[in-house]
Amino acid sequence: MTLLIAARQLSKTFVLHQQDGLELPVLADVSLEVHAGECVALTGPSGAGKSTLLKALYANYLVQHGTLNILRHGRWIDMARAAPHEIVAVRRDTLGYVSQFLRVIPRVSALDIVAEPLIEQGEERETARERAGALLERLNIAERLWNLPPATFSGGEQQRVNIARGLVAPRPVLLLDEPTASLDAANRAVVVELMREAKARGAALVGIFHDEATRDAIADRLFTVPLARRHTKEIAT
């Protein structure tokens, strides 16, 4: 199958200037390749850098070393070096991110939040809203809630709205940060089904799944994020 993600020798160290330049190495020399139709589950002890790796893949975190290539329209784009507008374009049509927390946008209804990625891809507003509605329905969000801003929704509802937003647009690479955490069994099953559909479509998935049942249901292989050598030192400045 086609290689979609090729991350080589990634290193990431946080430097906390607020704490006298405290250095926290999180990723050291991490390489990861993911093919189309494959789901890789990141594992490792808490704090090993699973989330950091996922965020680095999304260019949300900067890596100090390494290359981070994502295949977009048959061309490799190094997310560690791409210009901001290129990263925005990759995120729009190639790279999706499903996190646990919905960042609520004031006054925008749940339906519009979910439909937005489709509209950004050039879908007609009405079609996008229809597809968004269908997805919310599958995720058991009551239709009476669709036109309300999710600020007042319960945690689980907000999370499902965010999953819908992350999955509504068919992107070939999906990054999933605990998508099923705190969902009930029924909704968890729906999310697993959605992820399987994405895989069947040929998407490459990289995820953190705490819940073992979900991991077993969706992951093709595990990737243990190697522990960076933890040595903290003061930077004399």
The contacts of residue 42 (CB under 8 Å, 6+ apart) are 50, 53, 54, 206, 207, 208, 222, 223, 224, 225
What span, in angstroms and rounded, lies between the C-alpha atoms of 147 and 87?
A: 31
Taking the complex as a whole, how short is the minimal distance between the CB of residue 120 and other proteins, in angstroms? Answer: 8
Nearer to other proteins (CB atom), residue 2 or residue 127? 127
CB 11 within 8 A of CB 66: yes
Nearer to other proteins, 88 or 134 (CB): 88
* Closer by beta carbon to other proteins, 87 or else 164: 87
- Of 175 and 183, nearer to other proteins (C-beta) is 175
Place of tokens 């990263």: 87
Residue 16 or 222 with smaller CB distance to other proteins: 16
- Least CB distance to other proteins at residue 107 (A): 4
Smallest separation (angstroms) from other proteins to the CB of 191: 23
Q: In which element (H, E) is residue 132 found?
A: helix 125-138
The contact set with other proteins (CB under 8 A) reads 14-18, 55, 59-62, 83-85, 87-89, 103, 105-108, 119-120
Secondary structure E strands in the chain: 3-16, 22-35, 39-43, 65-72, 75-78, 95-98, 173-177, 204-208, 221-224
Minimum CB separation from other proteins for residue 87, in Å?
6
- Of 90, 74, 30, give the one whose Cα is nearest residue 54: 30
